[in-house]
Amino acid sequence: MSASKDAATLRESHPDAVLDIGEFRGEITVTVKPTGLHALLKQCKTDLAYDMLLDVSSVDHFGDDPRFEVVYELATVNDSHHLRVKCRIGEDEEVPTATDIWKAADWHEREVWDMMGIRFAGHPDLRRILMWEGYPYFPLRKDFPLAGRPSEMPDVASTDVAPLEGGPFVTSSGETDIARREPRAHVVK
């Protein structure tokens, strides 16, 4: 089977959930309603052998309704089929977690939550992964200012001497000789 046949199978199995099937430059995309997303993803894994979740990402369609789109990139283990699954959701909606289908969804979903503010219902540990806990904003949203926003995060910059300065794992960028710049060259034998 090919990814286009797999998409047709998904449309037959989930006629009320699949909104669209598209093809662009040989890549197949299935757009699905949020209510049918989890069942469709489960079928991708169990029946269609998409054993690898390569990525979960998101898009901010600021000004449109629904505003957000969650994108799943799936592949078979032998890398012969790739399938993209998209789901549009509003600002206050949640997407069902895919961590019970692919363990790899854990950190991907946490990153989408952290950067875009999209919640994943049923996620076992939905907390910040890049920003600190308590940070009130979502930096990848289109309404986030380029200059950033003020926060209560203390300034952590330091001008003290680096703790490993001159140590065996620190390169010496001032050296002109590549061999002397290599950290292992500093090890005394």
- The pLDDT tens digits of the residues spanning 151-180 come to 766 666 555 655 555 555 555 566 666 666
Residues of the chain falling short of pLDDT 70: 1, 152-189
What is the total residue count of the chain?
189
Architecture of domain 3-142: 2-Layer Sandwich (3.30)
Partners of 84 in the β-ladder: 29, 73
Q: Is the pTM of this model over 0.85?
A: no
Give the start-to-end residue ranges of the domains of the chain.
3-142, 161-189
Identify the pLDDT of residue 157: 57
Token pair recorded at residue 52: 């690898």
Helix, coil or strand: residue 75: strand
**Which H or E run includes 32?**
strand 27-32
Backbone angles phi, psi at 169, to 5 degrees: -110, 10
The single-letter code of the amino acid at 2 is S
